[in-house]
Structure 1
Amino acid sequence: MSMFMKVRVGDETQNESVHSTMAESNALDASVPHMRRGPFRPDAWVNARQRNALRLRTFYYRGLDVALTALLTVGWLTYPQAISSIGQLTITQAAPYAIGWLCALWLLISANLYNFAAASRIWHHAILTALMTALGLLAGLILQVITSPSSSSDYLLWAGFMLVALTVLHLIWASVAARGRKNGALTPNIVLVGATQYAELLITQALERRDVNILGIFDDRAERSPASICGVPVLGRASDLLTHRLTPYLDCIALTLSPEAAERVGQLKRQLSTLPNRIAVLLQGDEPDAVEITRALDKLAYTPVHLLNPPANDDRRAFYKRLQDLVLGSLALCALMPFLLMIGIWVRLDSHGPALFRQRRHGFNHEEIVVWKFRTMHHDHADFAGIRQVTADDDRVTRAGRFLRATSLDELPQLLNVVLGHMSLVGPRPHAIGMKTGQVISADIVTEYAHRHRIKPGMTGWAAIKGSRGPMHNASDVRRRVQLDIDYIERQSFWLDLWIMAQTLPVLLGDKVAMR
């Protein structure tokens, strides 16, 4: 089955979210009315976290290209002997093949043929792949002719296999990406703010192009706005976006206002900047023409599967972070499984109730996820909503729970969340939805609170090793936690994550004060 075909989500947070199959989509229609309206309803509803995971799979495509062509080259050079005989080859024998192989792959990357942009047609992509591969292999052929002309026929035969292999592989990758765009799994989801004539022109052309999903419109003149524009529903006022259930599925919020509304644009940008979604300003000209509309849609629709080459490459950083989570998280889960079973048995014997505790929390881009922990409270006093934070000598906490909280061992089941991709090993700690600090919802205390959700939540994080962990009892605690989380998001790197993980254990064991 295609890797970009309809995505099925396995956790219970998605019971009210949009699933990928038609049966699941129908079930969603009953609970999410706004998602069953409009002409841009995708076949596969994929939230931002899942779409990022799909986009990053192109790194695996490049890795497979490297591995398979390297294996083909090594096998060709050593046949009919064993592959272990590769060490017996001379530099003169191996150099043309190595140069041809490296040049071919370098040209494929340099020509951005791993971007799989929406505007690229499959056969056009295949032709470019064959051309770049042939040019790279030509460099090796020139060296082969110079060093050993008698072996040129062998090189040409190998080059033919390489050309076919890379072209076929890229046909597969491009077809998979195209399928993902066709069913909506890779097509960017957009909402427009401003029910203007410009928005109507955008929607009309977008319906013809079908390379962007405009899911709805928000307008502050709701009482004067139409119920829909070209079939796209008006879903409410701009302020409604701050808490709308559509937000986790959005790639971009586009402001479609008149050029006279510059002050209003500034107000909307400040208002919506509390959301983790990207904001694009599409100010219309005095008389927007087809060229202007096309450029605006290109700005919204040009979302390559990933970008390999830009200097600040968020996709490459996200890929390495996911690879780090998958490898280290899987190893830790397997190694600690006997220990986890022992803790689970202890929790069950210590007090009545299940060993594990589930709680809905905010994940990447406001997505609701189910986070797993060992139960540390009496089952009949469990706070599933997370409204009341833990205090010193809290009578809800069990004897086993006090030890587990003091050592943070109750967080270990979240390794499963990490492996499944809902969380990361390092990131802002996931807070319960609706969690309160005093009598105020924590998210209402700091304007930038939602910026924490621009990255996956983590088992540990920058804030945790800097002393901001456990309950937040006042506004100052919330502000410090948010600031530390934003600092981490801006600085995140592979090596910083490793350093934070290395610091976590000694910091937690040395902290006898913080309640967790």
Structure 2
Amino acid sequence: MAAILKSRIAMPDCASPLAATEVATSIDRAAGARGPFRPEAWLNARQRSAVRLAVYGFRAADIAAVVGLAVLALWSLGSVDPRTVTVAAVLPMAVGTVTALSLLRGLGLYRFGRDGAPLIHLGCVVATGLLATGAAGVVGLLFQDHGLGAVIPWGVATTAALMGLHGLWLGLTTRWRRQGILSPNIVIVGAGRSAEALIERALERRDLNVLGVFDDRLSRTPDHLAGVPVLGPADALPNHRILPYVDRVVLAIDAEAGPRVRELTRRLETLPNPLTVLVGAEAGREAAMARLAEAPLATIGDGGAADRRAFAKRMQDLLIGGLALVLAAPVMAVIAVAIRLDSPGPIFFRQRRHGFNQEAVVVWKFRSMRHAAADATASRQITANDDRVTRVGRFIRATSLDELPQIFNVLTGEMSLVGPRPHAIGMKTGETESALLVAEYAHRHRIKPGMTGWAAIKGSRGPVATEAEVRRRVALDIDYIQRQSFWLDLWIILITVPVLLGDRAAVR
């Protein structure tokens, strides 16, 4: 019975709230119990990373409040008219604003860690308001009371606003932590003594979600290890439905199993998830547990350059994607009417494709093939003069207009404007599944898929008919992931249209 359950929960899955519930239920059923680490809220890695980036929203709200109250204070004195405003009137408010915002960041008040005491946090917010008010007051006195009349009301209002906002931030992060959203989700490969020591220590700390265990030696492995369900062999992990919910894979192997460690490491490095190797007694050490718990999700606001790039990329997607939707709306309406008049069937074609961290996302396109010939798994890739393509379909495929509905995928956060093109789940190159041709294939999923990308503007787009084409596509995608930046994305967006329209050789 245990083997049957393990095989059932190894099926790929779409990362919807209902699917998350199904994954949780399947794991519970396999373990025969709820399990000691089961998080209250099941979010996939993409959704959890979006929560982590919420700190930038927190900071934006603080900036808006502090600057807005300063402008309001100056307006109350009649000092905001650009024709009559003086440096003496504005400078105290400017110094107070800069002081407040600098202290909020400098004191680490955007690092909502599990060990931070709320009263100390709010006390630092009050101190920030007082120091900013004092700095503004000193500058106002130096200019012979110019602008000083607005300093005290601004200081009181700013301190009160920041107290309210940070109280809200603390409440939100406390709730997220209670639900397990801010605790890194891990799976363990290996069901030996090292894995058991890691689980027992994690039970004491309660700062990790151990979702499951995988082990090749199922004949000698129990159905659960210290209450955590054993979900199958290590080879089942790459296609397991739990993978999109995993932040990190931990290889916990006993010290005497050196050759096995090297073999499993080689196999697991092909996953899109980060890999941590803990050997022998290290699995139970405090330092090892601290490293795992200090993953980006553990403390909001301390993610560094990677989080800043992710936030900039998301803002780019929302701003440019929103503008693109407005501009493309009339064109999309015309295409929808043309498809409806050209052939029977729906206007849109929806297909399950791999997204970030192996998440299954439903990608939208305008239907370009006859409805009866739809191929949801891309088992037969498009060819020149393909008899499945409609008259309107030939035009919108040649101009890539069939991809326009993916703007909705971008705005919902499932895709990005720029990234590796999402491939259909189970897509084949010849008679072989494309993902099996290149060991690093899943590395494409370490970032959200895009409407366009580095590979697309370098000529690798459309079907991949040979193993060499798959390898080139994967190599270009990995190259982009390693180089990704705001400015590279912007350049790719700008050059996409002329490159696509000038390409007459690619089959689309």
Which TM-score applies when normalising by structure 1? 0.89
**1:307 match:** 302
User: Is contact 2:255-2:279 (8 Å) kept?
Assistant: yes
2:396 is equivalent to residue 399 of structure 1: no
**1:338 aligns with one of 327, 330, 354:** 330
Could you report, residue by residue, the CA deviation over 1:481-510 in whole angstroms, capped at 9, with x for unpaired residues? 001111111111111111111111111111
Structure 1 residues 116-515: aligned runs within 5 Å: 116-148=112-144, 154-285=150-281, 288=284, 291-292=286-287, 294-300=289-295, 303-307=298-302, 310=304, 313-515=305-507
2:68 is equivalent to residue 71 of structure 1: yes
Shift of 1:287: 9.9
Residue type matched to 2:386 in 1? D
Shift of 1:355: 1.2
Shift of 1:456: 0.8
Note closer, same or farther for the CA distance 1:402–1:301 as it changes in structure 2 (3 Å cut): closer
> What is the SS of the residue equivalent to 1:285?
helix
Residue type matched to 1:122 in 2? P
Shift of 1:153: 7.0
**2:17 match:** 19
For the residues of structure 1 that align with 2:290 and 2:146, how far apart are their CA atoms? Answer: 54
Could you report, residue by residue, the CA deviation over 1:152-207 in whole angstroms, capped at 9, with x for unpaired residues? 67524432322222122111112111211211333321111222333333323323
User: Is contact 2:370-2:389 (8 Å) kept?
Assistant: yes
For the residues of structure 2 that align with 1:27 and 1:193, how far apart are their CA atoms? Answer: 19
Shift of 1:275: 0.9
For the residues of structure 2 that align with 1:20 and 1:153, how far apart are their CA atoms? Answer: 57
Moved more, 90-99 or 496-505: 90-99
User: Is contact 1:77-1:86 (8 Å) kept?
Assistant: no
> What is the SS of the residue equivalent to 1:256?
strand
For the residues of structure 2 that align with 1:69 and 1:287, how far apart are their CA atoms? Answer: 46
User: Is contact 1:20-1:43 (8 Å) kept?
Assistant: no
Note closer, same or farther for the CA distance 1:238–1:87 as it changes in structure 2 (3 Å cut): farther
> What is the SS of the residue equivalent to 2:393?
helix
Note closer, same or farther for the CA distance 1:63–1:425 as it changes in structure 2 (3 Å cut): same
Moved more, 467-476 or 230-239: 230-239
Residue type matched to 2:440 in 1? E
Shift of 1:370: 0.5
Could you report, residue by residue, the CA deviation over 1:125-155 in whole angstroms, capped at 9, with x for unpaired residues? 2223333444444433433344436976752
**1:6 match:** none
Moved more, 227-236 or 243-252: 227-236
> What is the SS of the residue equivalent to 2:409?
helix
Moved more, 279-288 or 249-258: 279-288
Note closer, same or farther for the CA distance 1:39–1:68 as it changes in structure 2 (3 Å cut): same
Residue type matched to 2:450 in 1? G
CA RMSD of aligned residues (A): 2.7
Note closer, same or farther for the CA distance 1:104–1:447 as it changes in structure 2 (3 Å cut): same
Shift of 1:17: 4.3
Shift of 1:121: 3.5
> What is the SS of the residue equivalent to 2:442?
helix
Q: Which ranges in structure 2 are unaligned for 5 or more consecutive residues?
A: 1-10
Which TM-score applies when normalising by structure 2? 0.90
**2:7 match:** none
For the residues of structure 1 that align with 2:496 and 2:282, how far apart are their CA atoms? Answer: 57
2:96 is equivalent to residue 100 of structure 1: yes
Could you report, residue by residue, the CA deviation over 1:358-378 in whole angstroms, capped at 9, with x for unpaired residues? 111001110000111111111
Residue type matched to 1:177 in 2? T
For the residues of structure 1 that align with 2:499 and 2:167, how far apart are their CA atoms? Answer: 50
Q: Which ranges in structure 1 are unaligned for 5 or more consecutive residues?
A: 1-12
- How many residue pairs match? The answer is 497
Could you report, residue by residue, the CA deviation over 1:277-307 in whole angstroms, capped at 9, with x for unpaired residues? 1112233437955x44653554458622233
> What is the SS of the residue equivalent to 1:223?
helix
User: Is contact 1:37-1:232 (8 Å) kept?
Assistant: no
Shift of 1:469: 0.6
Shift of 1:39: 1.8
2:37 is equivalent to residue 45 of structure 1: no
Note closer, same or farther for the CA distance 1:190–1:137 as it changes in structure 2 (3 Å cut): farther
Question: Matched residues, percent identical?
Answer: 48
For the residues of structure 2 that align with 1:93 and 1:286, how far apart are their CA atoms? Answer: 61
Moved more, 493-502 or 157-166: 157-166
For the residues of structure 2 that align with 1:292 and 1:501, how far apart are their CA atoms? Answer: 44
User: Is contact 2:420-2:454 (8 Å) kept?
Assistant: yes
Moved more, 100-109 or 472-481: 100-109
Residue type matched to 1:179 in 2? R
User: Is contact 2:14-2:361 (8 Å) kept?
Assistant: no
For the residues of structure 2 that align with 1:286 and 1:340, how far apart are their CA atoms? Answer: 57
For the residues of structure 2 that align with 1:332 and 1:63, how far apart are their CA atoms? Answer: 24
User: Is contact 1:201-1:293 (8 Å) kept?
Assistant: no
Moved more, 44-53 or 266-275: 266-275
For the residues of structure 2 that align with 1:298 and 1:142, how far apart are their CA atoms? Answer: 44
For the residues of structure 2 that align with 1:152 and 1:293, how far apart are their CA atoms? Answer: 54
For the residues of structure 2 that align with 1:437 and 1:288, how far apart are their CA atoms? Answer: 45
> What is the SS of the residue equivalent to 1:69?
helix
